[in-house]
Chain A
């Protein structure tokens, strides 16, 4: 293979890895928006809390990879449900801006609570033996493969749940009409809790994988990653599950490719410019549709 193709393949692989992590987080934004039309700005920090759960499970409990991942997802899911119950549910009928301010507040709380407990950056141990293979010049690490496959697996499960199961039908129905869904026998609060649990659980999985790929974690790591995941969700069409995945892979791809061909300081500037252009061309995102409701 020529050097050029090898370089492209290598960067594509890196883009898939980054895109998968963004996608797992973006799904949480898009699910919560879909069902409550609210941006959960604390979600990036739930991802950060997930990375710290991963640290706790791996270092203090000394658990191997799979139990660490499961425990992290469970812990993050609980945090997500608690945030909804304590901070958002009382404001469900309040003006949207109150909920947004509360979400920002919850995010800052999570950052500083974590900072108080862990003032210095932590190091996540290598939970997986990291083998690297050379495939015709393209180097592939086992970690990369695990991150990509696990993320894709979780996304397939989620897609199945949302589009095929009764809970998923209920979620999609709530996103359309909250008042009348309970009249079909659907317990609204339970479905909203499930939505937060799934979104936060996926962010927990993302925290674990991010921690394995980039082992130094700190309480502010969720801010930038959270913004990027949020923007992925918007680019894909916020409220749309498949759109969030597409948006995340586009953002991951653009970031890696910009860094590959330009000075790396150009990365975020070029990436965000492109995304803004995309939004101007398609204001509702790639798979989003304008919502009109008959009154």
Chain B
């Protein structure tokens, strides 16, 4: 079943065409990678899907729901979670609060109940706090729950960002360069980890990555972007041998 469908999506920043003609059909449960040189429009596509930008033209659908025109918090409430290329934690909040806040869309109590601490408020708040602790222990961050996010080492911040994205209870998870700044050993662990959360949380994953080892290692399908255009699309083995892709990455004339 198709979870995400993008049709003829175009996006301009002023006169600059960042995304020229983006088409995608992402199947439920699939793990797909988007690669391409810097400035190819990869992160812009994530921003279009999550509503940070509104697509200039075209349609993006989650199942039957049109996402173009919806606000980011509405799209998040439809169970789309994401991480960011540059870590975007709430630096002054505690590790626990960073995860708690991502449950916001799941809150179903009235302001009155919240004010008086009755009814659903207590039950839901308890569930949210329990779930936050559960996610933190999965990501080996439980002992840091009370720590301010900005004090965490880089690797832990990366893990916290994924934990926070999972707190949204996503069906579709968008990972923006999850392996940025990691060494080969850490990348191996990350690959296993992505596979594991995919199973555990029943996720459909779309990821942007420059680390070929990770993309080729775990993605079932890869899309190559350049200058907002789709250069190539297919399974890793096809992409690896596509001359157009090599040219875009290594420069014209580099393949003899």
Contact = CB atoms under 8 A, between A and B. Distances in A.
B97 A180 contact: no
Contacts of B101: 166, 169-170, 173, 181, 184, 186
Counting contact residues on chain A (CB < 8 A from B), the size range is: 20 to 34
Given A165-B114, A166-B100, A183 B91 contact: no
B73 A169 contact: no
Nearest to B121: A165
Contact of A186 (B91, B93, B104, B114): B104
A173 B86 contact: no
A185 B76 contact: yes
Given A169-B93, A184-B168, A177 B88 contact: yes
A170 B103 CA distance: 11
Nearest to A185: B105
A53 to B, nearest CB: 21
B76 A172 contact: no
Interface string A41-66: 00000000000000000000000000
B93 A183 contact: no
A105 interface: no
Contacts of B88: 177, 180
Contacts of A173: 90, 93, 97, 101
Interface in A124-181: 165-167, 169-170, 172-173, 175-177, 179-181
Given A176-B90, A177-B88, A177-B90, A183 B100 contact: no
B52 interface: yes
Interface in A180-230: 180-188
A167 B106 CA distance: 13
A184 B93 contact: no
B76 A176 contact: no
B92 A182 contact: no
Interface in B229-249: none
B191 interface: no
A86 to B, nearest CB: 20
Interface of A: 165-167, 169-170, 172-173, 175-177, 179-188, 294
Given A183-B50, A184-B76, 5 more contacts: A165-B114, A170-B104, A172-B90, A185-B102, A185-B103
Ranked nearest first, the 3 interchain pairs of A and B with the lowest CB-CB distance are A185-B105, A182-B72, A185-B76
Interface of B: 50-52, 71-73, 76-77, 82, 84, 86, 88, 90-93, 97, 100-107, 114, 125, 128, 164, 168
29 contacts: A166-B100, A169-B100, A169-B101, A170-B104, A172-B90, A172-B92, A172-B93, A173-B97, A173-B101, A176-B90, A176-B91, A177-B88, A177-B90, A179-B52, A180-B88, A182-B76, A183-B50, A183-B52, A183-B73, A184-B73, A184-B101, A184-B102, A185-B73, A185-B77, A185-B102, A186-B105, A187-B73, A188-B73, A294-B86
